[in-house]
A and B are shown apart, each in its own frame.
Chain A
């Protein structure tokens, strides 16, 4: 497929037919990256329209769009080219929306408040490494099991969205959220244990030696 065909503006895809989507997906299943990019770019405004009709918050809607794109990617083998494409895609998007509302309904019980100010001052949004984290936070992060540490690092330190982080970690968005949540809980317990009367207890966290624990007094 010609590269210029894959770089059209989103509006240019508005009239794309179901047959064209099916063709692109069939090519993507064979490993054609250009066709796949064209497919994803063309789907994006349609997915956003479907999601936007149900999810009012723009940031949340963008997350749902990303999760739907990730599901399309992970589940692309389940599409058969001789079948219509749109019902397959709509079902995945609908499922991403339902997951969003389920997640939101559960969030009240599951949300783990961390001292977000403790996280590195990441105006840049990414490319932040552990070296700029406060020592107590870096130590709590280092004490996590590798899978949880990876999830927390990708989301909180590198500033990736859940879908991006899930793609990087090679797991589903749901699995990544669970890992991150467990990581937050463990870090919360670890940080609480390291504070006495609002002050950091010296050496209470692994890697936070004497003189390193005086910053987080919130």
Chain B
């Protein structure tokens, strides 16, 4: 063995301090899903109260809107699994599998929306700005909580590919937030769904990748 490696091992042993092992991935996943379900439940309860006992989920009859909801859930859950796995060495298959599910979900949702736009009245019904901005903003706000949990997990863990981990975490958080907003929005226009709900994960990745990636890269890079 080289002297340098011997010295390094001595240094590592001297630098040893007790650490708490990373929480189980499934525990972190359960916390995130519970948060998401809690927010979704609170929204459903509020809507039920406002509408005098009838939940405003008339969109269940709209196929495009329903498919987009399922797509967002797949993206949210797949992305969350992938993001958590990216902070744990040896879980690369899970990471790539989750990422594949998330991207496939968003892609399928986008395709369905585009097909819906082509078959419907087009984008004439889109109210430029106001409603889209509101949904985007609310989604981003609702993404903060799950993003915080995922980030805490990644910071305690060991994200070997910090930039990829940051991107997946943002994608998952965006999909989690957007799925809640999608549940309560009820504006069935496919163009709106595409621009203001399905695009949220992408927007968050674009906005947050640099700071979050830098934060993780400083730790592991």
Interface residues of A (CB under 8 A from B): 10, 28-31, 33, 36-37, 40-41, 44, 62, 65-66, 69-71, 73-81, 83-84, 87-92, 95, 160-161, 163-164, 167-168, 171-172, 174-175
Minimum Cβ distance to chain A for residue B46 (Å)? 39
**Which residues of the partner chain A approach B1 to less than 8 Å between Cβ atoms?**
10, 44
Q: Check if A172 sits within 8 Å of B12, measured CB to CB.
A: no
Given the contacts A31-B17, A78-B89, A164 and B7 also touching, CB distance less than 8 Å: yes
B-side interface size class: 35 or more
Residue contact B9 to A78, C-beta cutoff 8 Å: no
* Bound: A174/B87 CA distance, A: 18
Determine the main DSSP class of B at the interface with A. Answer: loop
Q: Would you call the interface of chain A mostly helix, strand, loop, or mixed?
A: helix
List the count of A-B residue pairs having beta carbons below 8 Å apart. Answer: 115
Q: Is B90 at the interface (CB under 8 A from chain A)?
A: yes
Inter-subunit contact A70/B8 (CB<8 Å): yes
**A-facing residues in B1-59 (Cβ within 8 Å):** 1-2, 4-5, 7-9, 11-13, 15-22, 24
Is B79 close to A, CB under 8 A? no
- Which of B69-77, B121-129, B213-221 has 4 or more CB atoms under 8 Å from chain A? B213-221
Whole-angstrom distance between the Cβ of A150 and the nearest chain B Cβ: 16
A44 with B9: CB separation less than 8 A: yes
Interface 9-residue window, one of B155-163, B167-175, B180-188, B192-200: B155-163
Nearest-CB residue, chain B, relative to A81: B21
- Chain B residues with CB under 8 Å of chain A are 1-2, 4-5, 7-9, 11-13, 15-22, 24, 87-92, 156-158, 160-161, 217-221
A161 to chain B, nearest CB (A): 5
13 contacts between A and B (CB under 8 A): A41-B9, A44-B1, A71-B220, A75-B160, A83-B90, A87-B90, A88-B88, A164-B7, A164-B11, A167-B15, A172-B218, A172-B221, A174-B217
User: Which B residues lie within 8 Å of A77 (CB)?
Assistant: 19-22, 156-158
Q: Is the CB of A78 within 8 A of B4?
A: no
Say yes or no: B8 contacts A161, CB within 8 Å.
yes
Q: How far is the CA of A37 from the CA of B15 in the complex (A)?
A: 11
